[in-house]
Structure 1
């Protein structure tokens, strides 16, 4: 029952998410039927050539038939394969789009390497199934039906014998396909886990070297590789047993056809040309049947390997609301807010209350792990409170549209976040901002001179820059985004903690002046006691919890 459900789920994935072109599919099927009809004519023509002396006209017709069969076969397979490639592209796009637009709390546990691996690698199984196995199996099935009819027309006894053996082959195949489903799930999991583990170990290479822990890192990586190897070996064992069994049954089939065919000829129930044609039709029957038999384990592997794709596609999106926040954010209030992280029993907030108004420069302090960053994430609607209420301008945060809230907030995270692309792309993040403003923002964080030294300047890739920059310089680059946006609330999550004293003072002053000139409400999470003096208000989270 579960297997049927999994296969139905796979077909729903292909049809609903892949959205195949129906008209192109019908065309491909039509050409495939035409190719099958032509290919079934060939053994019949050869039968006539064997039973009588062929003329030049007969040979010409056979040659034309062969050429037309080849042409229509190529067109049908190419058409159906293109449909398959498009289906997989659509599935990948929708899976990625679902991950990007999913609720933060749903995807926060998924590592980037794991998601990338599942979307690209797991969908390769679907690509193979849709682009190759399905089209070839479809054309093979049509050929098998036509060849089977012709075999019964030539000699019913021989045909019946062949189909009994083919039925035996089906009984052999079914247990293998069931086993392959579970193995495939394990392989895809180990692949994603291996990519994630090795990527993280590589990023921490320096940590292992300075602690003389290369052996530990090596063993962790080898452990992931061995887990994948064990799964591969298990799969290979079943595949290596499957192929010889199928070949033995096919050899038995050929031997029986020869013996029975000889007896039929001796009894004048079959001609030599008829036996020749039967063998040709048998080859047309066996080849498609082998293709169809491959479909079962391939289908099982794809069902098992697509589990994570189903998960990504089922993510709930952050839903927009009709109640948009039109006016600038002037006040924020937490009323009896309780919160604990998903899948974690630790209570972060227990009936916390506070209210702040704009324009103010507010510093938030408190012990590590006390929920300072969580406050910012809740205001960005990345997390929802378990109970209690959050108000913005006196309106319930839950009722307000997410995008309209985020349009008002600049959020600079504790750990600088960058994506693959140029410096310009990482600073503007899809916005149309002219270069002069970008250079001005870089000057505010004392990076203008350094970036100008790169040959490609703003078009320098972020990967190249991260190799040349220190952690503090990368943080300053992230802070530069702040000066490119005209929003009235600024969230700073310990963004100055990794900077040297001189840059910390200069950049803090630039942020302060920027906030003042734009009437911004600033919430600055910090551990630096020196900076509290310049704040309009200090919010001590530990005291709020106690109260």
Structure 2
């Protein structure tokens, strides 16, 4: 219960904001100028009082008019600078917040992205931080200046007439009585609205990202209904939010008007009996308006604060997630070392075992192939070797050293991964070839063409009018499957990996593309430790060792001929495919 209360309180919000490095000079000068603005503004009603009480054509001296004009101009200029500086502070906080989230997301474990739609995460980074940004940049500056204005105005009013000031203070408990329940309601609505916005963003991104699947499946009606349902939910929550705002505005207006009428009525009586001058009443009303205007913005500020609290909870949830553990120490060269899995077991978050007691070793330069029924755990083994996941039991070592003791960046830099899907980033062929390489590393066009030649990709790249600068489209949709595979192989050549992993690298290709890609892969495999997953046994019959996996367990190990002789299921696979 204490944890829940802590999470829902305001403290986490301010703790998160103060953890961001901000330009303190801008904050100090912005607040100082707000103070100056307030002081200058507080002189205006006093000057007006003198003008009203001694009003006559003869009393309109040039010096009095100049003083009033100067007060207005100085107040406007300094107030503008103050708002700008405080807005700068707000923008810096939000930029720092987004930076922290982005850097944290990049280091999150793959298991997080297995369980959360990317669109929802994008919504946290963009929409939730946007809510915090609106509070800080749009409402916080006026809140700070309003606080200073109210304090100064109330102090002067107490000196001018404490009785009328006490009448005015009736508005305080009334305002609190209105804001507290409405604020709680706004916080609840805001949390629901942010969750639904994240869900809707995730659905939209998923549908548009798989637009070809949607159209090929004639799923327009399904997606139409799902999209409209999401829009209706957002509309409903938006209307609930509008109801709260619709209550806050009129109620605050009612309180303000009641106070103004009471002040005017009481002040009028005192002017009539001579206990107050007309100028003093005018000055009092001007000070009252200086208080009322900030109070009106406070209502909006506190409702936005409730929304920002909800957004902060989601942001903190992400920032508290465990990251990949970066192993300290120098880079480790893994060339010429044996990769070994010893009794490795693994289960995903739901507790269902995926691998149980898997053991094998890959000597330097060997080709180790994995075969077996789909869903047996072959791709999971690759995920463990890549350190996307950590084994629940057993050990993975390189040269006798647990891979968890090797710096994770150094480890992955020395592994090449060519998958069936040939993942590509939107952008150019050049950008995809050098993706992930250090920015400082200068890669020449000659080197790029060389690896393209080695991957049998030079011909089709050169045929494009823009060559290496050809745009490949989102996820490489402008290229064929064989072209994407060859670019992935060229990228692997450029990285010069010590261990090469291939997951169904030719499974989705036509026979002509498969032949070309197989030649490219043959080149890439030379002199490297290679791990291969293949359903087509024809691609692995020459492997140094074949590991047959069923239901997460190794049921057979050996060369192709050995497994045919002693492993019944492998023999059936071979008879179906090779006969």
Instruction: Quote the Cα distance in structure 2 between the aligned partners of 1:32 and 1:338.
Output: 63
1:20 matched to which residue of 2? 22
Q: Distance in 2 between matches of 1:382 and 1:423?
A: 26
1:528 aligns with 2:536: yes
1:60 aligns with 2:66: yes
Question: Pick from 318, 336, 339: which aligns with 1:332?
Answer: 339
Match of 1:292 in 2: 298
Provide the residue aligned with 1:204 in structure 2.
Answer: 210
Alignment of 1:347-496 (within 5 A): 347-431=353-437, 432-463=442-473, 466-496=476-506
Supply the distance in 2 between the matched residues of 1:86 and 1:124 (Cα, whole angstroms).
13
- Answer yes or no: is the 8 Å Cα contact 1:88–1:123 preserved in 2: yes
Q: Is the 8 A contact 2:108 2:324 kept in 1?
A: yes
- Determine the structure 1 residue equivalent to 2:41: 39
Asked whether the equivalents of residues 6 and 12 of structure 2 are also in contact (C-alpha less than 8 Å), the reply is no
Q: Distance in 1 between matches of 2:405 and 2:463?
A: 48
| Superposition TM-score, scaled by structure 2 size | 0.89
Deviations 1:480-533 (A, max 9, x none): 2112122211011112112221222222222222322xx200101111111122
CA distance in 2, matches of 1:9, 1:406: 36
How far did residue 258 of structure 1 move? 1.1
Structure 1 gaps of 5+ residues are none
Query: Does 442-451 or 171-180 show the bigger shift?
Result: 442-451
> Which whole-Å CA distance do the structure 2 matches of 1:263 and 1:4 have between them?
52
Deviation at 1:386, TM superposition (A): 0.8
Secondary structure at 1:405 match in 2? helix
Report the secondary structure of 1:316's partner residue.
Answer: coil
1:304 maps to 310
Tell me how far 1:162 sits from its aligned partner: 1.0
2:338–2:361 Cα contact (<8 Å) kept = yes
- Indicate which of 279, 285, 288 corresponds to 1:282: 288
Query: CA distance change for structure 1 residues 185 and 329 in 2, over 3 Å: closer, same or farther?
Result: farther
What RMSD, in angstroms, separates the aligned Cα atoms of the two structures? Answer: 2.0
The aligned counterpart of 1:509 is: 519
Alpha-carbon offset, residue 102 of structure 1: 1.9
Number of the residue aligned with 1:191:
197
Paired residue secondary structure (1:497): coil
- 8 Å contact 2:49–2:283 — kept in the other structure? yes
Structure 2: which 5+ runs fail to align? 557-579
Matched residue SS, 2:541: helix
Matched pairs, number: 543
* Deviation string, structure 1 residues 4-42 (Cα, Å, up to 9, x no partner): 8531111111110x3212222111111111111001011
The answer to whether the aligner puts 1:87 opposite 2:97 as a matched pair is: no
Specify the alignment match of 2:548 in structure 1.
540
Contact 1:178 1:300 in 2 (8 A): yes
Q: Report which stretch shifted further, 96-105 or 200-209.
A: 200-209
State the 1:402 CA deviation. Answer: 1.4
